Amino acid sequence: MRPIGTIPRIAAGALLAAACAASAAQAPAPDAERTLRAGGSELHVSVTGVDDPRRRAQLQDWLAEVARAQLTAFGRYPLRSARVRIEPVGRETSRDDESPVPWGQTLRRGDAAVLLFVRDDATPAELRADWTAIHELSHLFHPYLGRDGRWLSEGLASYYQNVLRARAGLLSPQRAWELLDAGFGRGRRESSGAPLVELSRRHEGTMRVYWAGAAFWLQADVALRREHGTSLDGVLSRYSACCLTGTGEVAPADFIAELDRLSGTTVFSSNYPRFAQSRQFPSLDATYRDLAITRSNGELHFGQHGPGAALRRAITARGATRPAAP
Ligand SMILES: [Zn+2]
């Protein structure tokens, strides 16, 4: 879910009911539905509550570009079939939130569905620059992990929302690292001292939950690439092929154990308890060294030579990850 404090004020239930009633009354319209296909998987994208056919096409084109960014992980959508529903929201309904996509959510009732509320006056450029859609699509890479696993699920979506956009050319690689670093900074400022898993369970400490979670996946990705000849993409591709379903709950420890098994490593389990019980933001000093990222005078600097630079580029470079068979 998108971590914005104003979300509840959108009155999601009322909007959903109105949108469902509206869509039931409408005849099928061009671009109300599109099916995106890749590697035997399908994403069924619907736009409801939008009368203007040009706007429907615009929203479908936007989502198709975001979906292409998702494919830079392993060349197919993580689930064999999932739905995306795009609905408009008026400026007056979410006036406290200037985002072009003020609310997104992944639902897992019956089947997996990503729901995106898009401001009705958001321009294509504003939509293209927003991270909400790729964040929500990234939630399809993992099973539902319950409240204790929120830090893992939100962390994965927060990591991938930047990495995948960089690979797709929606962000420069440098900007992606800067956004990750800014997120880590927000997480670091959460100072309750409570264990991460407790914040996760109690729906508190949002910034530490999201960004300590993202740090967990970044560390795992770096370790897999440096020491084991694979990557987070590769391991999640295998998980998608063997084990992922759109509904049902998986215990976080079981998910971690499965990722260890699929990678033939202990990369995930060796950090999992330490992160879950951490009372402050984990240090990323060693990870930044591995990626040739340094900081001076409050600015990030990116080394251009050597294995650290190569590793960093491999994570975010366009076309770095070829479509892979499961
Ligand atoms: Zn989320």
- Among positive and negative, which fits the CA dihedral 73, 76, 80, 83? positive
Whole-number Å distance, alpha carbon 138 to ligand 1 midpoint, is 8
Torsion of CA 67, 73, 76, 78, to 10 degrees: -90
The Å distance, Cα 25 to ligand 1 centre, comes to: 31
Q: How many Å lie between the centroid of ligand 1 and the Cα of residue 135?
A: 6
pLDDT at position 91: 74
Residues 162, 69: contact at Cβ < 8 Å?
no
Question: pLDDT at position 298, please?
Answer: 87
Distances (CA, A) of 268 to 105, 218, 259, 315: 26, 11, 7, 18
Cα 245 to averaged position of ligand 1 atoms, centre (Å):
18
Residue 182 Cα to ligand 1 midpoint, Å, equals 17
Nearest to 130 by CA among 99, 175, 155: 99
pLDDT of amino acid 96: 66
Ligand 1 geometric centre to CA of 303 (Å): 31
> How far apart are the CA of 305 and the centre of ligand 1, in A?
35
Please report the pLDDT score of residue 9 as a whole number. Answer: 33
Cα–Cα distance measured from residue 309 to residue 23, given in angstroms and rounded to the nearest whole number: 50
pLDDT digits (tens, 9 = 90+) for 229-261: 999 999 999 999 999 998 889 999 999 999 999
Beta-carbon contacts of 48 under 8 Å, excluding residues fewer than 6 positions away, are 19, 20, 22, 23, 26, 32, 85, 86, 87
- The β-bridge relationship of strands 41-47 and 293-296 is unpaired
pLDDT in tens, the chain (326 residues): 765 443 333 334 434 444 444 444 556 688 899 999 999 999 999 999 999 999 999 999 999 999 999 999 999 999 999 999 999 998 777 666 778 999 899 998 878 899 999 999 999 999 999 999 999 999 999 999 999 999 999 999 999 999 999 999 999 999 999 999 999 999 999 989 999 999 999 999 999 999 999 999 999 999 999 999 999 999 999 999 999 998 889 999 999 999 999 999 999 999 999 999 999 999 999 999 999 999 999 899 999 999 999 999 999 987 644 444 43
The structural domains of the chain, with segments of one domain joined by +, span 7-141, 150-316
Q: What is the Å distance from ligand 1's center to 29 Cα?
A: 30
DSSP string computed for 211-238:
HHHHHHHHHHHHHHHHHSS--HHHHHHH
Task: Report how far residue 245's alpha carbon sits from residue 236's, in angstroms, rounded to the nearest whole number.
Answer: 13
Predicted structure pTM score = 0.90
The Å distance, Cα 200 to ligand 1 centre, comes to 12
CB atoms within 10 A of CB 135: 27
